[in-house]
């Protein structure tokens, strides 16, 4: 295990940034509380943060037109919502944080529509998010938080992003806005995640100078029906 002294990490000059995407339609809710807790730890580490509320927007799902693949312009063919702006924000960020409330034990619909389109555009345009640091959190009343985080993590893993962890699943509980603050364990999970994410981002920034990351490969696609 590579251990990087704190004083070396402090010398990293580039100001890094994390973009958080809030899939909740609520302006102030428990999903936002989870994300803000993680972002608070990142800010303590000198990392800039920004939060985008996806859940309040009108975002339709992918229409499987493959225009993004054909044009290779880093854009989705649907132009009447903020998704293309968000894609460029993700491209420019060093870290990406995904958060969703739990709807029927899964990711909120608007959030999933955004992720389907943004991550597909990224994947067919050279892997825009490759080797960025990414993490996911969920806020839930009672159950379904783990499958929701697992679904969010599918996007991160598929994109060859690098994922930090916490000391338990990245889920906090609460029904009414602000109740996640009463979930002591859930709040600690978010704090640990934020600290680990900050450390990983800084360690990668330093380590990649000494150990160059592997080059991307042309994707092999095997269809079972010929």
**pLDDT one-digit tens code per residue, 4-53:** 555 554 554 679 999 999 999 998 999 999 999 999 999 999 999 999 99
Chain segment 205-214, per-residue pLDDT in tens: 999 999 999 9
The reply to whether 218 falls in a domain is no
Residue environment code for 35-69, b if the CB has 16+ CB neighbours within 10 A, otherwise e: bbbbbebbeeeebebebbbbbebebeebeeeeebe
> Does residue 79 belong to any structural domain of this protein?
yes
Residue 164 lies in a domain: yes
Residue 222 maps to a domain: no
Residue 156 inside a domain? The answer is: yes
The pLDDT tens digits for 119-133 are 999 999 999 999 999
Domains of the chain: total: 1
153: how many CB neighbours lie within 10 A of its CB? 17
The answer to whether the beta carbons of residues 124 and 69 sit under 8 Å apart is: yes
CATH number at residue 113: 3.40.50.360
- Domain range spanning residue 129? 18-206
Query: Which phi and psi (to 5°) does residue 145 adopt?
Result: -70, -40
Say if 141 falls within a structural domain. yes
pLDDT number for residue 226: 78
Decide if 3 is inside a domain. no
Please tell me the predicted confidence (pLDDT) of residue 81. Answer: 97
Structural domain includes residue 215: no
The tens digit of pLDDT for each residue in 178-225 reads 999 999 999 999 999 999 999 999 999 999 999 999 999 998 989 999
Percent of all residues in the chain with a pLDDT value above 70, rounded to a whole number: 94
């Amino acid at each position: 295990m590579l251990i990087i002294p704190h004083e070396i990490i402090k010398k990293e000059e580039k100001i890094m940034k994390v973009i958080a995407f809030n899939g909740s339609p609520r302006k102030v809710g428990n999903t936002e509380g989870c994300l803000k807790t993680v972002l608070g730890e990142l800010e303590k580490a000198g990392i800039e943060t920004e939060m985008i509320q996806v859940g309040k927007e009108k975002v339709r799902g992918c229409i499987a037109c493959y225009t993004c693949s054909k044009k290779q312009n880093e854009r989705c063919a649907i132009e009447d919502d903020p998704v293309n702006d968000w894609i460029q924000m993700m491209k420019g960020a060093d870290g990406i944080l995904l958060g969703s409330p739990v709807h029927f034990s899964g990711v909120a619909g608007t959030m999933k529509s955004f992720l389907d389109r943004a991550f597909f555009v990224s994947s067919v345009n050279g892997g825009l998010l490759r080797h960025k640091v990414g993490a996911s959190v969920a806020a839930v009343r009672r159950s379904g938080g783990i499958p929701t985080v697992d679904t969010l993590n599918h996007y991160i893993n598929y994109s060859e992003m690098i994922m930090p962890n916490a000391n338990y699943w990245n889920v906090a509980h609460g029904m009414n806005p602000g109740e996640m603050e009463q979930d002591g364990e859930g709040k600690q999970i978010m704090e640990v995640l934020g600290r680990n994410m900050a450390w990983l981002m800084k360690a990668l920034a330093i380590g990649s100078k000494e150990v160059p990351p592997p080059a991307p490969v042309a994707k092999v696609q095997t269809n079972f029906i010929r």
